[in-house]
Amino acid sequence: MGTLVSALNIANEALAADQSALNITANNVANQNTPGYTREVPNFTTQDTYLISGYEQANGVSAGTPTSVRDRVLEQRLQQQTQTASASSTLETALNDVQSIFGLTASSTSTSVTQLGTSVNDFFSSLTALANDPSEAATRQQVLSSASSLATTLNSASSQLNQITSSLNNEAVSIVGQVNQLLGTIASLNGRIATQNPEQDAGVLEDQRQQAIAQLSQYIGLDQITTSQNGIELTTSNAGLLVTANLSYPLTASIVNGVVQITAGPNNVNVTSGTAGALTGGTLGGTLEALDTSIPPIKANLDTLAYSIATAVNTQNEAGVDAYGNPGAALFTIGTSSTGAAGTIAVAVTDPNLVAAAGVGEGSSGNTNATALAALGTANIAGGDTATGYLATSLAAIGSATANATNDSTLQSATLTQLTSQVNALSGVSLDEEASNLTEYQRSYEAASQLFSIIDTLFASALNFGVVTSVT
Amino acid sequence: MGEKVKLSEALEQTASALAMFDSDALEELTVRLNAAADGLVEVEREPIEAIKARQRILAEVLIATEQSINILRGLRERKARNEWAL
């Protein structure tokens, strides 16, 4: 009976292998639209032969464990590109928001068309008008009106910059929450894979882990290291530990004095931008770059402009004589340093007669000081440049940074699309390919059916009627 | 005509090749057994039990394969028509 038992065993193996291949194809077809699903292929293996009565007996085939068609190098490249593209896109969005504050567009970065540029020009034009007609009440009023308009425009730009900063701070904290959730998921999957598939591709669990890492790559720059038991260790791109084995180390995020601070790893190392182990990549990296690298100089330039105009005008007005014949006073309220100046600058007087148009000793109807005030419009009072020149340079820098961010984002996005296509071509499910498998199965089935018929017709000639035989 | 074919082995090889969907191996077997049917290759005599047991095996594998292919074809057609959400 040894032969019959072994034959039945072969049948079972064959049926199982056959069914396994069909199941894998069915699974691939069914999961065609499942995000992150990696196509599986059957691995047929011939079982070891064995000897019965000196004859070698085949032991059929088995399907073995299906292998997911994945390329880890390509997957990691895709994750890195996702991190870069996400960071670029986030920075582009932030800079576009900043650019819109100043009325700049991709096609127009001219200072004269911006509200701030117009306000600066109008203010100095009103001083020129005052120099031409210092006794006219309307021209004096126009100086205060345009000064007020300039201060309000600077306040508004500063306020909007602060709102963008605040929004990005909150966004960073929100991203950290999502990052931490994914870190927990990946650590948990590491644990399950180590238990269930420590020595081989973990199929669906591996897909889930890769999907979680892919999502994580959108949020944060990271490196992954393959460890024992099919595990993956994750660190920030600057080696801050995020996940090891089944343990995750959540990031912490807090906003201190309007500045977001993020720590990582078991020792809670500060990984905010500007630190040695700063986070880069992903939307979090892009957000931090915007917060710590891109927006501060824009705020500083705006403050410098406000402070420079205010202090120069105040100094000059204090050097003159007002319409009452008194020494001039400060026209603007301003702090003692440029920090935050754009947000706090205000017009200090409401009486137009307090504008000191006259010079000392020429009487209240003179215009010498008004001429000097008007001359501030062409004097190098801001960072070694005129006020309009400084503003133009600042706005051009914003426009240039935004244009660069847009170009970079477009490039990174295109590269990401290409890589995604490559990964999908390798591991994505193609209905055409699965249809081709089905055709192959049908072809084999028909050939085997034909063989069955041929053998059936040969049956009689193989029988050994009347002769003693033994089952070998 | 020195070459011989043993039907039990041919049946076993057919079942194994079908299990792996190895169409090339099946076509080689077909050529060999057609030669036997044409009298070009001798059919080796062997016990009826050996042949019948393996015939039954192949029949089972064929039936299972046919059923699976039909299910798979239906699955694919429904999927191609987007008739259900997974």
Distance CA A159, CA A136 (A): 35
Q: How many CB pairs under 8 A join A and B?
A: 179
Residue of B nearest to A33 (CA): B86
The span from the CA of A104 to the CA of A407, in Å, is: 17
Question: Which chain B residues contact residue A13 at CB under 8 A?
Answer: 19
Distance between CA atoms of A403 and A107, rounded to whole angstroms? 10
Asked whether the whole model's pTM tops 0.95, one would answer: no
User: Distance between CA A256 and CA A183 in Å, rounded?
Assistant: 25
Residues 7-26 of A with CB under 8 A from B: 7-8, 10-11, 13-15, 17-19, 21-22, 25-26
Q: How far is B48 from chain A (nearest CA, A)?
A: 6
For chain B, say whether A462 makes contact (Cβ under 8 Å): yes
Angle among Cα B58, B60, B61 to the nearest 5 degrees reads 65
- Total residues belonging to chain B: 86
Q: Is the Cβ pair B57, A7 closer than 8 Å? A: yes
**Helices A282-289/A204-219 angle, 10° precision:** 10
d(CA A17, CA A412): 44
- Asked if B77 has any chain A CB less than 8 Å from its own CB, the reply is no
CA of A78 to nearest chain B CA: how many angstroms apart?
Answer: 26
**Which amino acid, one-letter code, is at A409?**
S
For the stretch A45-89, pLDDT in tens is 555 444 444 444 444 455 555 556 556 666 777 788 888 888 888
Predicted confidence at residue A76, as pLDDT, reads 73
> pLDDT tens for residues B66-76?
776 776 676 66
- Say if residues A300 and A141 touch (Cβ distance below 8 Å): no
Using CB atoms, which residue from B44, B47, B62 is nearest to A452?
B62
Whether A31 and B86 lie within 8 Å, measured CB to CB: yes
Predicted confidence pLDDT, tens digits, chain A (472 residues): 334 344 445 555 555 666 666 666 666 666 665 655 666 666 555 554 444 444 444 444 555 555 565 566 667 777 888 888 888 889 999 998 888 888 776 555 555 558 889 999 999 999 999 999 988 899 999 999 999 999 999 999 999 999 999 999 999 999 999 999 999 999 999 999 888 766 666 667 888 888 899 889 889 988 888 887 778 899 887 778 899 989 999 999 999 888 898 988 888 888 887 766 788 888 999 999 899 888 999 999 999 999 999 999 999 999 999 999 999 999 999 999 999 999 999 999 999 999 999 998 888 788 999 999 999 999 999 999 999 999 989 888 888 888 888 888 877 777 777 667 666 666 665 666 667 777 888 888 889 888 988 988 888 777 654 444 444 4
**What pLDDT score does A456 carry?**
86
Inter-chain touch B72–A29, beta carbons under 8 Å? yes
How far is C-alpha A332 from the geometric centre of its chain's CA atoms? 42
Where would I find the beta strands (DSSP E) of A228-317?
231-236, 241-244, 247-248, 252-256, 259-264, 269-270
Per-residue pLDDT at A64: 56
Number of other residues whose CB lies within 10 A of the CB of residue B7: 25
User: Which of A454, A468, A472 to probe the B interface (max B CBs under 10 A)?
Assistant: A454
DSSP string, A371-440: HHHHHGGGS--BTTB-HHHHHHHHHHHHHHHHHHHHHHHHHHHHHHHHHHHHHHHHHS--HHHHHHHHHH
What is residue A68's predicted lDDT score, i.e. its pLDDT?
Answer: 60
- Per DSSP bridges, beta strands A67-68 and A61-62 are unpaired
CB A85 within 8 A of CB A412: yes
CA nearest neighbour of A221 among A94, A95, A81, A90? A81
Q: What distance in Å separates the CA atoms of residue A121 and residue A300, rounded to the nearest whole number?
A: 21
Put simply, the answer to whether B16 touches A8 (Cβ < 8 Å) is no
Show Cβ contacts of residue A118 under 8 Å, excluding neighbours closer than 6 positions: A112
Q: How far apart are the first and last CA of chain B?
A: 58
Tell me which chain B residues have a C-beta less than 8 angstroms from the C-beta of A454.
Answer: 30, 33-34, 36-37
- Predicted local distance difference test score (pLDDT) of residue A27: 66
pLDDT digits (tens, 9 = 90+) for A179-238: 999 999 999 999 998 887 666 666 678 888 888 998 898 899 888 888 877 788 998 877
Q: Would you call B50 and A441 a contact, using CB atoms and an 8 Å cutoff?
A: no
What span, in angstroms and rounded, lies between the C-alpha atoms of A60 and A42?
A: 16
**ipTM confidence score:** 0.88
